[in-house]
DNA sequence: GCCCAGGTGAAGC
DNA sequence: GCTTCACATGGG
């Protein structure tokens, strides 16, 4: 199908990795179903991912010898069993594990993750994907891809976006999120916020640094802390998780956001963020 | 037309 | 303090 040099492929044995659930669970927004696998971009690499009986298979556009960036992104070294057994043994949580076993958390680039979630406010996942795709096509560096594949671009750098006008960004259909993305790009490219050092702080301090950015509140900050920095107890509470907690743990009662927060931080244990992703995915697919 | 979407921040009780 | 509302845009 696609002509490939010998070392642009790699395979790795791994159990309990549900690629589809992982790539479509609203943590990353650039993966496209293509044939039997998934096409996307990790940093400056075009990548095609596929799961087989052997494990995970990856193909890149250019031959590589060092694949550490790939396994880091996929968190391939994580022992999922240990995470799943750390979840509370209550019925809703176990039902979610039963339904989604193999769902994983990725480890994404902080800037791409931050920018993407700034764009996520009151948008459906499909629409976030569309906005991100347009943004990348307009302002991302073109990437080398194998012959016959569609064109792909890197995620735009903060420097590139900081040089845009609000009107430029509005053309990517992001609406009222345009000034927020622009402000974040300027804060990062000017060094006013240093994304590289955020992960060194305790969770609360790291959150506070992120929420200084306009358009970044607790929910988006927790997403970035979970999906990019890997804080295991970061716990984004969006409309789906609110619904999940109310229905599954509070028998549908109205519960204040603060009470939900307190419950979330006390109930789900050392891998609460992972538990959150299982509940999120479970809720979104349970009726379909 | 109306309502909602992996929210946030400002304004009103 | 907590609740309500505007903010662009697209889809059901």
**Residue that wins the pLDDT comparison between A5 and A172:** A172
| Gyration radius from chain A CA atoms | 19
Rounded Cα distance between A194 and A188, Å, is 6
Question: How do residues A123-156 score in pLDDT, each as one tens digit?
Answer: 999 999 999 999 999 999 999 999 989 999 999 9
Residue A51 CB in 7 A reach of strand B: no
**Residue A6 pLDDT > 90:** no
Rounded Cα distance between A135 and A173, Å, is 9
Mean pLDDT of chain A: 95
Question: How do residues A95-109 score in pLDDT, each as one tens digit?
Answer: 999 999 999 999 999
**Which nucleotide across the nucleic acid strands is nearest to A210, CA versus C1'?**
B8
Query: If you write DSSP's letter for every residue of A205-259 in order, what string do you get?
Result: HHHHHHHTSTT--HHHHHHHHHHTS--TT-----HHHHHHHHHHHSTT----HHH
Q: Give me the residue label for tokens 């000034």.
A: A179
3-class secondary structure, A33: strand
Q: What is the pLDDT of residue A241?
A: 96
Q: What is the pLDDT of residue A2?
A: 55
Question: How do residues A178-200 score in pLDDT, each as one tens digit?
Answer: 999 999 999 999 999 999 999 99
Strand B neighbours among A 211-250, CB < 7 A: 211, 213-221, 223, 236-241
Rounded Cα distance between A245 and A226, Å, is 19
Strand B neighbours among A 134-193, CB < 7 A: 176
Residue A10 CB in 7 A reach of strand C: no
Residue A261 CB in 7 A reach of strand C: no
Q: What is the mean pLDDT of residues A235-250?
A: 95
**Residue that wins the pLDDT comparison between A286 and A22:** A22
**Which nucleotide across the nucleic acid strands is nearest to A175, CA versus C1'?**
C8
Residues ≥6 apart with Cβ < 8 Å to A219: A236, A237, A238
Rounded Cα distance between A119 and A116, Å, is 5
Q: Which residue is nearest to nucleotide C8 (CA to C1')?
A: A175
Q: How far apart are the two ends of chain A, measured CA to CA in Å?
A: 33
A155 and A140 Cβ atoms separated by less than 8 Å: yes
Neighbours of A19 (CB within 10 A): 19
**Residue A4 pLDDT > 90:** no
- How many Å from the CA of A177 to C1' of C4? 21
Q: What is the pLDDT of residue A287?
A: 65
Residue A74 CB in 7 A reach of strand B: no
Q: What is the pLDDT of residue A252?
A: 87
Rounded Cα distance between A26 and A280, Å, is 9
**Which nucleotide across the nucleic acid strands is nearest to A124, CA versus C1'?**
B5
Confidence of residue A116 (pLDDT cuts 50, 70, 90): very high
Question: How do residues A10-61 score in pLDDT, each as one tens digit?
Answer: 999 999 999 999 999 999 999 999 999 999 999 999 999 999 888 999 999 9
């Amino acid at each position: 199908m696609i002509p490939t040099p010998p070392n642009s492929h790699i395979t790795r044995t791994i159990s309990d990795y549900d690629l589809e659930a992982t790539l479509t669970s609203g943590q990353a927004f650039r993966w496209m179903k293509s044939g039997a696998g998934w096409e996307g971009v990790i940093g400056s690499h075009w990548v095609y991912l596929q799961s087989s009986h052997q494990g995970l298979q990856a193909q890149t556009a250019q031959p590589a010898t060092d694949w550490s960036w790939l396994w880091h992104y996929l968190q391939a070294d994580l022992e999922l069993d240990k995470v799943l057994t750390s979840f509370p043994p209550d019925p809703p949580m176990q039902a979610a594990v039963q339904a989604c076993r193999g769902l994983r958390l990725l480890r994404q680039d902080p800037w791409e993750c931050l920018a993407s979630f700034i764009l996520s406010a009151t948008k459906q996942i499909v629409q976030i994907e569309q906005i991100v795709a347009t943004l990348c096509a307009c302002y991302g560096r073109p990437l080398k891809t194998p012959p016959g594949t569609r064109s792909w671009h890197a995620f735009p750098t903060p420097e590139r976006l900081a040089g845009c006008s609000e009107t430029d960004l509005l053309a990517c259909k992001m609406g009222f999120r345009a000034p927020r993305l622009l402000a974040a790009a300027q804060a990062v490219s000017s060094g006013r916020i240093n994304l590289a050092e955020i992960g060194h702080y305790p969770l609360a301090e790291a959150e506070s640094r992120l929420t200084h950015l306009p358009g970044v509140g607790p929910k988006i900050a927790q997403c970035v802390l979970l999906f990019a920095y890997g804080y295991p107890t970061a716990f984004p509470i969006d409309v789906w998780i609110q619904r999940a907690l109310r229905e599954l743990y509070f028998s549908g009662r109205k519960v204040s956001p603060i009470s939900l927060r307190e419950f979330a931080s006390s109930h789900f244990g050392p891998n609460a963020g992972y538990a959150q992703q299982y509940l999120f995915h479970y809720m979104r697919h349970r009726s379909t």
